[in-house]
Chains A and B, each alone.
Chain A
Amino acid sequence: MNRFDYIRAGSVAEAVAAHAAGAAYLASGTNLLDLMKGDVTRPERLVDISRIFGLDAIETLPDGGTRIGALVRNATLAHDPAFAKAYPAVAEALLSGASAQLRNAATTAGNILQRTRCQYFYDTASACNKRQPGAGCDAIGGVTRTHAVLGWSEHCIATHPSDFCVPLAGFDAVVEIEGPAGRREIPLESFHRLPGDAPERETELAPGDLVVAVRLPPEAKAFAAHSRYLKVRERTSYAFALVSAAVGLTFAGDRIGQARIALGGVALKPWRARAAEALLAGAIPSPELFARAADAALQGASPSGDNAAKIDLARRIVVRALTLAQAGTPARIPALPASPFGA
Chain B
Amino acid sequence: MSERMRHGASIGQPLTRRDGPAKVTGAARYSADFKPEGMLHAVMAVSTIARGRVTHLDVAAAKAHPGVVDVMTPENAPALAKSPDEKDNPFTFRLDLLQNAGVRYANQPIAVVIAETLEAATEGAALLAPRYDAEVPEVELGGGEIFTPSSVGAGSPTEEGAGDVAAGLAAADTRLEATYETAAQYHNALEPHTSVAAWDGDRLTLQTPTQALWIAKGRLAELFGIPPENIRIVSHFLGGGFGSKGFIAAPQILGIMAAKLVGRPVKLVTRREQMFGPVGHRASTRQTLKLGAKADGGLTALDHHTLTLTSRHDDFVEACGLIARHLYAADAIATTHAVSRADIGTPLFMRAPGEAPGSVAVESALDELALELDMDPLELRLRNYAEVEPITHRPFSSKALRECYAQGAERFGWAKRPKQPRQMRDAHGLLVGWGMGTATYPAGMMQGEARATIRADGTALVETAAQDMGQGAWTVLAQIAADGLGLGLDAVDLRIGESDLPNGGLAGGSTGTATAGSAVHAATQAALAELEALAVNDRASPLYGAGNAGTVAQNGRLARRDDPTRSESFSEILARADKASVEAKGTGAGEPASRKTYAMHAHGAVYAEVKVDPDLGQIRVTRLVGAFAAGRIVNPRLVRSQYYGGMIWGVSLALHEHAVLDTRSGRVMNPNLAEYHVPVNADVPSLEAILVEEHDPHVNPLGIKGVGEIGITGTAGAIANAVWHATGVRVRHFPITLDKLLT
| Contact across chains for B677 and A3 when beta carbons are under 8 A apart | no
The stretch among B73-81, B198-206, B292-300, B663-671 that forms the contact with chain A is B663-671
Decide if A239 is an interface residue (CB 8 Å cutoff).
Answer: yes
Q: Within 8 Å CB of A138, what residues of B?
A: 662, 664-665
Which residue in chain B gives the minimum CB-CB distance to A161? B674
- Interface flags, B703-743, vs A, CB<8A=1, else 0: 00000000000000000000000000000000001110010
| Contact across chains for A237 and B669 when beta carbons are under 8 A apart | no
Shortest B685–chain A CB gap in Å is 9
Tally of contact residues, B, Cβ under 8 A? 39
- Interface flags, B178-206, vs A, CB<8A=1, else 0: 00000000000000000000000000000
Q: Within 8 Å CB of A2, what residues of B?
A: 123, 126
Q: Within 8 Å CB of A317, what residues of B?
A: 616
In angstroms, Cα B683 to Cα A117, docked, is 22
Partner of A236, one of B665, B675, B683: B683
Decide if B372 is an interface residue (CB 8 Å cutoff).
Answer: no
Decide if A6 is an interface residue (CB 8 Å cutoff).
Answer: no
Interface residues in B609-633 by Cβ distance below 8 A to A read 611, 613, 615-618, 620
In angstroms, Cα B669 to Cα A117, docked, is 11
| Contact across chains for A238 and B615 when beta carbons are under 8 A apart | no
Q: Within 8 Å CB of B593, what residues of A?
A: none
Q: Within 8 Å CB of B677, what residues of A?
A: 234-235, 239
- Our count of residue pairs bridging A and B at CB distance below 8 angstroms stands at 97
Decide if B596 is an interface residue (CB 8 Å cutoff).
Answer: no
Decide if B682 is an interface residue (CB 8 Å cutoff).
Answer: yes
Decide if B48 is an interface residue (CB 8 Å cutoff).
Answer: yes
| Contact across chains for B126 and A340 when beta carbons are under 8 A apart | no
Q: Within 8 Å CB of B739, what residues of A?
A: 145, 309, 313
In angstroms, Cα B677 to Cα A240, docked, is 11
Decide if B430 is an interface residue (CB 8 Å cutoff).
Answer: yes
Decide if A126 is an interface residue (CB 8 Å cutoff).
Answer: yes
Shortest A232–chain B CB gap in Å is 5
Q: Within 8 Å CB of A237, what residues of B?
A: 680-683
Q: Within 8 Å CB of A239, what residues of B?
A: 677
In angstroms, Cα B119 to Cα A240, docked, is 29
Q: Within 8 Å CB of A232, what residues of B?
A: 616-618, 738
Tally of contact residues, A, Cβ under 8 A? 40
| Contact across chains for B738 and A119 when beta carbons are under 8 A apart | no
In angstroms, Cα B723 to Cα A211, docked, is 46
Which residue in chain A gives the minimum CB-CB distance to B735? A234
Shortest A84–chain B CB gap in Å is 20
Decide if A185 is an interface residue (CB 8 Å cutoff).
Answer: no
| Contact across chains for B742 and A117 when beta carbons are under 8 A apart | no
| Contact across chains for A143 and B660 when beta carbons are under 8 A apart | yes
Shortest A50–chain B CB gap in Å is 20
| Contact across chains for A316 and B615 when beta carbons are under 8 A apart | yes
In angstroms, Cα B430 to Cα A239, docked, is 21
Interface residues in B122-163 by Cβ distance below 8 A to A read 122-123, 126
| Contact across chains for A238 and B123 when beta carbons are under 8 A apart | no
| B618, B665, B681 — most chain A CB neighbours (10 Å) | B618
| Contact across chains for A340 and B616 when beta carbons are under 8 A apart | yes
Q: Within 8 Å CB of B679, what residues of A?
A: 235
Decide if A242 is an interface residue (CB 8 Å cutoff).
Answer: yes
| Contact across chains for B618 and A233 when beta carbons are under 8 A apart | yes
| Contact across chains for B738 and A1 when beta carbons are under 8 A apart | no
In angstroms, Cα B331 to Cα A39, docked, is 59
Partner of A341, one of B430, B656, B738: B430
- Interface flags, A281-319, vs B, CB<8A=1, else 0: 000000000000000000000000000010011001101
| Contact across chains for B656 and A234 when beta carbons are under 8 A apart | yes
| Contact across chains for B616 and A238 when beta carbons are under 8 A apart | no
Decide if B416 is an interface residue (CB 8 Å cutoff).
Answer: no
Partner of A125, one of B613, B660, B665, B674: B665
Shortest B132–chain A CB gap in Å is 10
Say yes or no: A242-B738 contact (C-beta < 8 A), given A320-B615, A340-B618.
yes
Say yes or no: A1-B683 contact (C-beta < 8 A), given A119-B670, A312-B742, A317-B616.
no
Decide if B4 is an interface residue (CB 8 Å cutoff).
Answer: no
Beyond known contacts A138-B665, A341-B611: 11 more, CB 8 A cutoff: A1-B119, A3-B119, A119-B675, A123-B669, A142-B669, A234-B656, A242-B738, A312-B742, A313-B616, A316-B616, A343-B428
CB-defined A-B contacts under 8 Å, sample of 14: A1-B123, A117-B675, A119-B675, A122-B672, A138-B662, A143-B669, A236-B682, A237-B683, A242-B738, A309-B739, A313-B616, A313-B738, A340-B618, A341-B611
Which of B's residues lie within 8 Å of A, judged by CB? Answer: 48, 66, 119, 122-123, 126, 273, 428, 430, 611, 613, 615-618, 620, 655-656, 660-662, 664-665, 667, 669-670, 672, 674-675, 677, 679-683, 737-739, 742
7 A-B pairs closest in CB distance: A125-B48, A236-B682, A237-B682, A340-B613, A309-B739, A119-B669, A143-B669
